Structure 1
């Protein structure tokens, strides 16, 4: 019983709609971004991509690409500073149109013009993890804004992303590709012409991010 209780206590939960409205409030995020731009973009990216925190923190500007005419984020270990959890983590994700409307591509271009290489250049690794400071910050931030359950962490964006796409009827093999899970039925290359990019974009575009003003 003690083991089961421990597992239940440590299990991460998804965010509900009310939670998302609180942690994805643009006024609050812009206030936080006065100190670090990543405080604005990381929660939005986590919600819109379902990517792991470290995957987002270690992005380089050249990981923002255009594929088949679609702006995308490349999750890869092209640079020596980047690490993947496993081989299936290597993937390409279409960028949600709402992020583009909010100015994400403009932010990327501004970072490029500054001659920085990493997308969030002011992040510093601690314990070999660039996500250490963002994880600690997000814990304080979501608590401050009324999301107090300790099982709701930054990783909850990933759980929520998966739950929402499953509820929307997204095919399991496509969902696994989006979040970087192993799928034995996938026999085509990650960057080949057979990437189901249109289906991926449709799935992501159909996701209501529940961003508030």
Structure 2
């Protein structure tokens, strides 16, 4: 599949689809289902295959979940929205404390995070012990506020300021960060 997929048709709005499903359920209760799919699809202006597939997925129309057809999580997305937000906050905090991570370190961190939280992930992640490059590209597209790149060389003045009291204060700050976020593993 191409890296950036552009949809050719518009998605059916949630309200229209649920209205069509309720109408179809009503006709099903009246035993008029054989005629119903095509006529209901034409009446609501949606493809009949879309109506049929959603009707098969949602048997009980009274208990349709609120997040049904929401764009919060893609069907093959590994991390849920809240987990990804937690990871982004951790990476921002690391950047603010001058401990920026390279893309390969972030991929290893994400793999550790997924394994630590028992989240299902692709087989290649287990073989390489790191998140995939395609996943990382998509993650960076979803989170444009992050700036993760290869570390540059340190100037002599900055290296001179890297002494015991500064390192000790940094270690205390890092310990406080890990105390706040216990689910994130060490690198």
TM-score, structure 2 normalization: 0.21
Larger relative CO (CA 8 A, sep 6+): 1 or 2?
A: 1
TM-score, structure 1 normalization: 0.19
Higher helix fraction: Structure 1 or Structure 2? 2
Structure showing greater Rg: 2
